[in-house]
Amino acid sequence: MFKATFQRYLTMIEQFLAQLPWNEDILDQSMYYSLIGGGKRIRPVLALASAEAVGGSSELILPAAVALELIHTYSLIHDDLPAMDNDDYRRGRLSNHKVFGEAQAILAGDALLTYAFEFLADEGLGQSERQLRIIREVAVAAGKVGMVGGQVADVAGEGKTLTLNEIEEIHKAKTGALLTVSARLGGILAGGTEEQVKALTDYAQALGLAFQIKDDILDVVGDSATLGKPAGSDLRQGKATYVSLLGLEGAEHQLHAQILKAQSAVKPFAEGAFFLSELAYYIEQRQH
């Protein structure tokens, strides 16, 4: 059931992306290259699942869910740049800047970020009050106190010894903010109650930390072919990670604790909790 539901969401997302009016110019080519280059689509999937968990329509919120993938893809393009993580591969293919050049990669990322807000402002998303709330929340999650702010703190922490609390604060912003707003987006646009949105928030915050802890673990134990990007990049850049601070066993313990926390948060959804609970388990078990 989980796999079938996951595939249903993926089909919705991929069909939406494929039908967008892509042109032959270099900007569209570079945007399309990274956007259609695979990926788990966790953020839009989380939004769609959250909408259904509160009894709403995943189809109705699809444009907004896809907007989250555009924002995520922009962040990956910029992460890979020489001035950032300096990674030559992403999702098993050459990074955007290795194919189109650094300047074009920067512009492709910029375009994806702004394009996302066209979909967040889609007239078919429902009540304007909910939509305005979500536009603001996504902007905050992607901006200086969210994803970008977390990236700044992550770069500043390279080569330093950080505490567990400091690492968590970085990743609540860098990784967790966009995952959290993904769940909130689905719940709010689908008409969930404030109690339901709070439960989705608690779930996604735990899931965000789990996702990052798993990334840290895979950077140590994974291989580049499976990951689709260079393994060991955190170590080369002197980044403080859950593994460097807690060791592999300690990081795995923290990972499992966050998974249990996420699963506990969605128990009130009863049947609607099944997919979200299994999604947390999927995050824990993933190999790339």
DSSP assignment string, 190-209: TT--HHHHHHHHHHHHHHHH
> Using CA atoms, how far apart are residues 266 and 273, in angstroms rounded to an integer?
5
pLDDT for res 23? 93
pLDDT for res 206? 97
| Six-digit token string for 49 | 């699942």
Residue 276's nearest CA partner among 202, 209, 215, 216 is: 202
pLDDT for res 287? 83
Q: What is the pLDDT along the chain (288 residues), one digit of tens a residue?
A: 899 999 999 999 999 999 999 999 999 999 999 999 878 999 999 999 999 999 999 999 999 999 999 999 999 999 999 999 899 999 889 999 999 999 999 999 999 999 999 999 998 887 899 999 999 999 999 999 999 999 999 888 888 888 999 999 999 999 999 999 999 999 999 999 999 999 999 999 999 999 999 999 998 887 655 555 565 666 666 678 899 889 999 999 999 999 999 999 999 998 778 999 999 999 999 987
> Using CA atoms, how far apart are residues 83 and 45, in angstroms rounded to an integer?
31
- Evaluated on CA atoms 38, 42, 46, 52, the torsion sign reads positive
> Using CA atoms, how far apart are residues 204 and 182, in angstroms rounded to an integer?
8
pLDDT for res 157? 87
Q: Which residues contact 110 (CB under 8 A, 6 or more apart)?
A: 74
| Six-digit token string for 44 | 């839009």
pLDDT for res 61? 97
pLDDT for res 39? 84
Q: Which residues contact 230 (CB under 8 A, 6 or more apart)?
A: 87, 88, 89, 224
Residue 45's alpha-carbon distances to 108, 144, 247, 248, 282, in angstroms, are 23, 25, 31, 29, 13
Residue 266's nearest CA partner among 189, 205, 212 is: 205
The residue assigned the tokens 């299994």 is 278
**What's the DSSP call for residue 41?**
-
| Six-digit token string for 105 | 């990669």
pLDDT for res 16? 96
Instruction: Name the pTM for this structure.
Output: 0.93
